[in-house]
């Protein structure tokens, strides 16, 4: 799976050549064999290059839940599931009995005590403080202003440059730089300006990518993500005099500690953990979704036509500001983005561990020795959940007969988590994705470079391994 220790990998590859011929199976034999000692690990490693699709295939023939048995003595037994009933049970009905666990914190130790890795009381306090932050009008105005500025002054200039030169470029890289710049500004109030025609190398962004790849192989100590010297400089400054005093760092540095027991904004480690958590969440979700979204649109030109018709009907001409009310009219675009998220979830797996023994709705008994992996990527492709057309890109599945958006429960559409840990940034994410999509679809034609190979990268985030090479051209808009 995605969390395989170095020692386990080493042991497995010692016997890889010996077992390879024996393990190789015909296509209809999907399930990994259960060998002595190493059990199912060798079979999983053989399929590691396409692990997300392989898990989807396994779950499709396993009634949505599969017990993956790891090597003896290593505590790697996992229950892999894409069953909405199990998700509802763990993340809602019996939420208090499940947490991330100590092993999760070790694997993701570069996130420290951030909201994604925290449990129990600390998580509750971090969640409450984050809810206050994202609900503040000042932060919302700052977000919209920052995002609009980045699109107008950065993204458009870069796309125009490549359109004029008629050269192929990596659209995934452009989205990653845009999302990184936006997120860094929202989190710290500062700008790296990594998105430009020159495309300067960003050590911060590179370190984030490295850490995400390291996690897949479960290094005992992931490399240091990056140092945020900005914290110390801001601690010695007058926050009230800063131009960007509505960013996340400022919010936490001014946090009233009397309301919380476990949050200490004077602690450098707390601030670093908070910033790293928000940086990864903000950058990766946006950039990854947009990359797969535009690749799907390149394969479905009829969807592009429908989005453009919706733009022409509901929105002002290019160059005018968009507000949330206008964006809410873009029902088909919203459905298309949901389809992209369903088929290519930015984070393919979610992980939990039971505190005490429990019985899941699927009939599987779990205790503290088992880890439960919720296969978010696979869930979006399960025919038992989405119908026989589950593998197809169909924005219409999100639209009701009356023309509005259908409600799909979070335990079925699990991309933004479910229950108390539901993503607080969901609405902001859709606002950002719609704004970028409209700007590009309205003003440019995107074509994937001929012969470009699409392959998933081995990472905790669903990046494209080779990027998304495209050629862009300006559209002639009729006024």
**pLDDT single digits (tens) 55-107:** 999 999 999 999 888 777 666 788 999 999 999 999 999 998 988 766 666 66
Geometric angle at alpha carbon 416, from 415 and 420, rounded to 5°: 135
Alpha helices in 91-119 (DSSP H): 102-107
pLDDT at position 136: 80
State the Cα–Cα distance between residues 362 and 118, nearest whole angstrom: 27
* DSSP secondary structure of 138-184: HHHHHHHHHHHHHIIIIIHHHHHHHHHHT--EEHHHHHHHHHHHHHH
State the Cα–Cα distance between residues 423 and 415, nearest whole angstrom: 9
CA distances 165 to 50, 178, 441, Å, are 35, 21, 19
**Domain made up of 77-474: CATH architecture:** Orthogonal Bundle (1.10)
CB 351 within 8 A of CB 59: no
State the Cα–Cα distance between residues 377 and 345, nearest whole angstrom: 5
Consecutive H or E run containing 446:
strand 444-448
State the Cα–Cα distance between residues 3 and 1, nearest whole angstrom: 5
* Dihedral sign for Cα atoms in the order 321, 326, 329, 335: positive
From its phi and psi, is residue 191 left (phi > 0), alpha (psi between -120 and 50) or beta? beta
Binding annotation: 423
| Residues whose CB is less than 8 angstroms from the CB of residue 135 and which lie 6 or more positions away in sequence, other chains included | none
Binding annotation for heme: 423
Q: Token pair 């049970």 is at which residue? A: 89
State the Cα–Cα distance between residues 345 and 459, nearest whole angstrom: 13
Please classify residue 321 by burial: count the beta carbons closer than 10 Å to its beta carbon, then call 0-12 exposed, 13-18 middle and 19+ buried. Answer: exposed
- Domain locations in the chain? 77-474
pLDDT at position 238: 42
pLDDT at position 435: 92
Counting every residue written for the chain, the total comes to 479
* Alpha-carbon dihedral angle through residues 52, 123, 217, 357, given to the nearest 10 degrees: -70
Q: Give the DSSP letter of residue 153.
A: I
pLDDT at position 231: 46
Give pTM, 2 decimals. Answer: 0.82
pLDDT at position 344: 97
Q: In what order do the strands lie in the sheet with 349-354?
A: 65-68, 78-81, 371-375, 349-354, 98-99
Give all strands (DSSP E) within 32-100, no chain letters. Answer: 65-68, 78-81, 98-99
pLDDT at position 465: 92
Q: Token pair 């169909």 is at which residue? A: 394
Kindly report, residue by residue over 165-183, the tens digit of the pLDDT: 999 999 999 999 999 888 8
Side-chain half-sphere exposure of 117, counting CA atoms within 13 A: 20
- Name beta bridge partners: 375: 349
Pairing of strands 365-366, 371-375: unpaired
* DSSP secondary structure of 414-471: GGG--GGG--TTHHHHHHHHHHHHHHHHHHEEEEEPTTPPP-B-SSSS--BTT--EEE
Digits of tens for pLDDT over the chain (479 positions)?
A: 444 455 555 555 544 544 444 444 444 477 887 777 776 777 777 777 888 999 999 999 999 999 888 777 666 788 999 999 999 999 999 998 988 766 666 666 666 666 666 666 777 777 777 777 778 888 888 888 888 889 999 999 999 999 999 999 999 999 999 998 888 888 888 777 888 888 777 665 666 666 555 555 443 233 333 234 544 545 544 433 344 457 777 777 777 766 666 666 667 777 777 777 777 777 788 999 999 999 999 999 999 999 999 999 988 765 556 777 888 899 999 999 999 999 999 999 988 889 999 999 999 999 888 889 999 999 999 999 999 999 999 999 999 999 999 999 999 999 999 988 888 888 888 989 999 999 999 999 999 999 999 999 877 889 999 999 999 999 987 65
* Dihedral sign for Cα atoms in the order 279, 342, 394, 398: negative
pLDDT at position 46: 78
Local structure of 66: helix, strand or coil = strand
């Amino acid at each position: 799976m995605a969390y395989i220790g170095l020692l386990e990998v080493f042991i497995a590859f010692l016997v890889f050549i010996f077992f390879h011929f024996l393990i190789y199976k015909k296509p209809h034999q999907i399930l990994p064999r259960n060998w002595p000692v190493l059990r199912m690990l060798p079979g999983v490693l053989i399929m590691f290059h396409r692990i997300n699709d392989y898990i989807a295939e396994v779950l499709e023939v396993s009634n949505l839940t599969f017990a993956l048995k790891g090597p003896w003595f290593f505590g790697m037994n996992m229950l892999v599931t894409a069953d909405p009933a199990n998700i509802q049970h763990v993340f809602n009905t019996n939420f208090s009995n499940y947490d991330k666990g100590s092993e999760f914190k070790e694997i993701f130790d570069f996130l420290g005590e951030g909201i994604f890795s925290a449990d129990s009381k600390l998580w509750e306090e971090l969640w409450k403080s984050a809810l206050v932050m994202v609900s503040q009008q000042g932060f919302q105005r700052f977000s919209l202003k920052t995002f609009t500025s980045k699109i107008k002054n950065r993204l458009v200039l870069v796309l125009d440059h490549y359109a004029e030169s008629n050269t192929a470029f990596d659209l995934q890289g452009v989205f990653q730089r845009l999302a990184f710049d936006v997120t860094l500004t929202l989190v710290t109030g500062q700008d790296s300006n990594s998105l430009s025609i020159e495309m300067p190398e960003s050590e911060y962004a590179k370190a984030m990518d490295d850490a995400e790849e390291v996690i897949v192989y479960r290094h005992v100590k992931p490399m240091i993500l990056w140092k945020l010297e900005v914290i110390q400089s801001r601690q010695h400054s007058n926050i009230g005099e800063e131009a960007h005093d509505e960013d996340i760092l400022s919010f936490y540095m001014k946090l009233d500690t009397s309301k919380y027991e476990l949050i200490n904004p004077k602690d450098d480690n707390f601030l670093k953990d908070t910033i790293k958590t928000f940086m990864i969440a903000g950058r990766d979700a946006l950039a990854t979704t947009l990359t797969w979204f535009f690749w799907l649109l390149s394969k479905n030109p009829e969807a592009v036509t429908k989005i453009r018709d919706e733009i022409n009907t509901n929105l002002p001409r290019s160059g005018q500001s968009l507000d949330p009310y206008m964006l809410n009219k873009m029902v088909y675009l919203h459905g298309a983005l949901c389809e992209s998220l369903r088929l290519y979830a930015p984070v393919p797996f979610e992980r939990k561990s039971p505190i005490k023994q429990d019985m899941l709705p699927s009939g599987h008994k779990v205790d503290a020795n088992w880890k439960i992996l919720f296969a978010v990527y696979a869930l979006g492709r399960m025919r038992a959940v989405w119908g026989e057309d589950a593998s197809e890109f169909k924005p219409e599945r999100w639209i009701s007969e009356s023309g509005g958006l259908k409600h799909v429960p979070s335990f079925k559409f699990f991309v933004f988590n479910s229950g108390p840990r539901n993503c607080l940034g969901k609405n902001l994410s859709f606002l950002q994705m719609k704004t970028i999509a409209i700007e590009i679809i309205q003003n440019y034609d995107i074509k994937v470079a001929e012969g470009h190979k699409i392959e998933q990268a081995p990472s905790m985030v669903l990046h494209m391994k080779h990027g998304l090479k495209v050629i862009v051209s300006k559209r002639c808009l009729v006024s």
